Structure 1
Amino acid sequence: MSINYEKLQALSDLCTPWCLHTVGTLRIADYISEGISHIDDLAKASGSDAYTLQNVMRHLVNKGVFEETEPSRFALNEVSRGLLEPGFRPDLTGIFGRMAYAWGTLPTYVKTGASGYHEQFGLPFWEDLAANPDVGKSFDDLMGIAGHGVPDPHFPITGDWDAVQTVVDVGGGTGAMLAEILRTRPHIHGTLVDLPGTASRSAEVFQDAGVSDRVTVAGQSFFDPLPAGADIYLLKKVLGNWPDKEKKEILRRCAEAAHPSSRIVIMGGVTPDEEKHQLSIEMVLVGGKPIALSEFRDMAREVGLEITSTQQHGGFLVECQPV
């Protein structure tokens, strides 16, 4: 049996991703785009050691990321131009830094099934974000357009949207999705539920959408009792961020708050039974995982909910109602 050592070495190489994160953090691509090309000038602009930075740059040139147009002068190519995009740039500050370093806790997650994030940063993920507002804000920014995609308020529900008067967006971040729901349906009032630091950053989002007069902001944990009696409780990309025990508690809070004809709409975190799950950064950060539909059905029943519909709409959408 032959062994492809070259491929194995390439796959296990940690040098390249750390070089990318380093030049991303130092904004090297930005300086090059501004006309700075010589290594001495790049080092001065980025506050770096010229010899070390040049070694990093030459490693990335060999990997096809930059070009060395003449000795010690570097240029962007079609790969490194991607480093100019704020939503993509590898960065060791803010949430991107947390994600990069969190991979070092993967052995704990694999051995225990629980996140080892606290081993690296001293606190569990959500507590760390609350204790470090700058990191929390960078996470909120990521989970806006970059993290969730363009908000789509036209997701299907059973029945008629015209009959919906109230929507609670549970764990809705800074409100991008709820703002679009209200903007496209002037008869609906909404409530945003998220932790106080995140919820406090929603005012501008709602103001820009022109819906501030139809929104209530609840700065709280969704493990606490939720605003009661809404027609729809929306969980968009929430359940997959939590282990099963916490998933059940979130669903229980929705069931407790719902009236008999309320609907709980889950977008993300529940998958068709045949879908194969793969490792993701969310699993490493918080120990969360998606749940197969058959398992979710049992979990929902335990808290008094029944699945009423499932469908594909840019992802797998599940709707429940109180039993």
Structure 2
Amino acid sequence: MQAQKSINLEELSDLCTPWCLHLVGTLRIADHIAAGTNEINDLASAAECDAYALHNVLGYLVDKGIFEETGPGVFALNEVSEGLLDPSRRPDLNGIGGRMAYAWGTLPTYVRTGNSGYHELFGRPFWEDLAANPEVAESFDALMGPAGHGTPDPDFPISGGWESIKTVVDVGGGTGAMLAEILRIRPEIHGTLVDLPGTVARSGEIFQAAGVAERVTTVGQSFFDPLPTGADLYLLKKVLGNWPDQETTAILRRCAEAARPNGRIVILGGVTADDVSHKLTIDKVLLGGKTNTLSEFLVMAGDAGLEVTSAEYEPSGQFVVECRPV
């Protein structure tokens, strides 16, 4: 029997390290060092902060193996801290990064109630907070798009293949990264992007870059309102897991109404196979959302006027659920 690896509870519960990393990421300390500024007073001046306090932070991170102190108050990058030069890996307390970091402080509310405590800290629920702070919303859209998650994979399987699909509505599709890729590799398809007005307003550049702008319609609205009708396929990608069961059922009901009589709904994310274990993710803390097992989802789909026609893993490992209205 293989010996269990020793687990240090003190290290696991340490909050100093992640907060120091977020701080130096936010201040772009690695960038300043890479540009040749490496003495503590000069670093503090470049980052507009207190030299003594910054020295304490960097000294702590040196002990953790994240930077090197090559002389008193002189710092250098090593293999670990060079990772902070990559914007996609760098912790940042500005924009959505700060919201996500501070939201972990509301974890007790989520665990005690099953609901998000985000409003306790920021004064509004998550989506309302984004609507009231366009700069945070923009950074969230960037995180969800190709810059944050890479180019999405549009080649997920659907029953009967894609040949019969001529129109796709991407429900809650953000700034359109997934829809753009679907249309790019399938020139016979026209698409509609549905999301909040401020979000779809930022989709134009993505559609232009993919060369599909002439085949896209954008609709700025809530997906709790009636959706564009008559499309062949309605896509819900990473939407359902952001909501509790009641709201999930309402979204499904809107999709069923719009898809009748012959459309289909494809769900990527928010539903798992029955044997998948539960795991905590930041979206649950931010939103109080719920990922449902297939058995749980079958009940909600039925309540929404849908029947599940297939549920299977695609080659990439993603679980794909397909429904039709009844």
User: Would you say same fold, with TM above 0.5?
Assistant: yes
- Match of residue 323 from structure 2: 320
Q: What letter corresponds to residue 320 of structure 2 in structure 1?
A: L
- Match of residue 16 from structure 2: 15
TM-score scaled by length of structure 2: 0.95
- Structure-1 separation of matches of 2:65 and 2:321: 43
- Match of residue 40 from structure 1: 41
- Match of residue 103 from structure 1: 104
Structure 2: gaps (5+ residues)? 1-5
CA shift for structure 1 position 147: 4.9
- Could you list the per-position Cα deviations for residues 152-178 of structure 1 after superposition, in whole angstroms to 9, with x for gaps in the alignment? 111110113121110000010101111
Q: Is the 8 A contact 2:174 2:199 kept in 1?
A: yes
CA shift for structure 1 position 87: 1.6
SS in 1 for 2:168: strand
- Structure-2 separation of matches of 1:107 and 1:146: 32
**1:148-167 alignment runs, 5 A limit:** 148-167=149-168
- Could you list the per-position Cα deviations for residues 172-194 of structure 1 after superposition, in whole angstroms to 9, with x for gaps in the alignment? 01011111111111111100000
Q: What letter corresponds to residue 261 of structure 2 in structure 1?
A: P
Q: What letter corresponds to residue 322 of structure 1 in structure 2?
A: P
- Structure-2 separation of matches of 1:223 and 1:22: 38
Q: Which moved more, 1:143-152 or 1:13-22?
A: 143-152
- Match of residue 72 from structure 1: 73
- Structure-2 separation of matches of 1:148 and 1:317: 19
CA shift for structure 1 position 8: 1.8
- Match of residue 182 from structure 1: 183
CA shift for structure 1 position 6: 8.6
How many residue pairs match? The answer is 319
- Structure-2 separation of matches of 1:6 and 1:177: 40
- Structure-1 separation of matches of 2:28 and 2:81: 11
SS in 2 for 1:161: coil
Q: What letter corresponds to residue 59 of structure 1 in structure 2?
A: Y
CA shift for structure 1 position 210: 1.4
- Structure-2 separation of matches of 1:216 and 1:54: 53
Say if 1:254 and 1:309 are closer, same or farther in 2 by CA, change over 3 A. Answer: same
**1:1-323 alignment runs, 5 A limit:** 7-145=8-146, 147-313=148-314, 314=316, 315-323=318-326
- Could you list the per-position Cα deviations for residues 113-161 of structure 1 after superposition, in whole angstroms to 9, with x for gaps in the alignment? 0000000000000000011000000000000125544211111101131
- Structure-1 separation of matches of 2:238 and 2:146: 13
SS in 1 for 2:266: strand
Q: What RMSD over aligned residues (CA atoms) do the two structures have, in Å? A: 1.3
Q: What letter corresponds to residue 317 of structure 1 in structure 2?
A: V
- Structure-2 separation of matches of 1:161 and 1:6: 49
- Structure-1 separation of matches of 2:81 and 2:147: 19
TM-score scaled by length of structure 1: 0.96
- Structure-1 separation of matches of 2:32 and 2:138: 25
- Could you list the per-position Cα deviations for residues 183-224 of structure 1 after superposition, in whole angstroms to 9, with x for gaps in the alignment? 111111100000000000001111111111111100011111
CA shift for structure 1 position 260: 2.3
CA shift for structure 1 position 91: 1.0
Q: Which moved more, 1:255-264 or 1:294-303?
A: 255-264
SS in 1 for 2:37: coil
- Match of residue 3 from structure 2: none
- Could you list the per-position Cα deviations for residues 213-255 of structure 1 after superposition, in whole angstroms to 9, with x for gaps in the alignment? 1111000111110000110000011111111111111101000
Q: Which moved more, 1:294-303 or 1:5-14?
A: 5-14
- Structure-1 separation of matches of 2:67 and 2:146: 28
- Structure-2 separation of matches of 1:305 and 1:94: 38
Q: Is the 8 A contact 1:231 1:259 kept in 2?
A: no
CA shift for structure 1 position 88: 1.8
- Structure-1 separation of matches of 2:49 and 2:149: 35
- Could you list the per-position Cα deviations for residues 245-300 of structure 1 after superposition, in whole angstroms to 9, with x for gaps in the alignment? 11111101000100222110000110010100111100100001210000001110
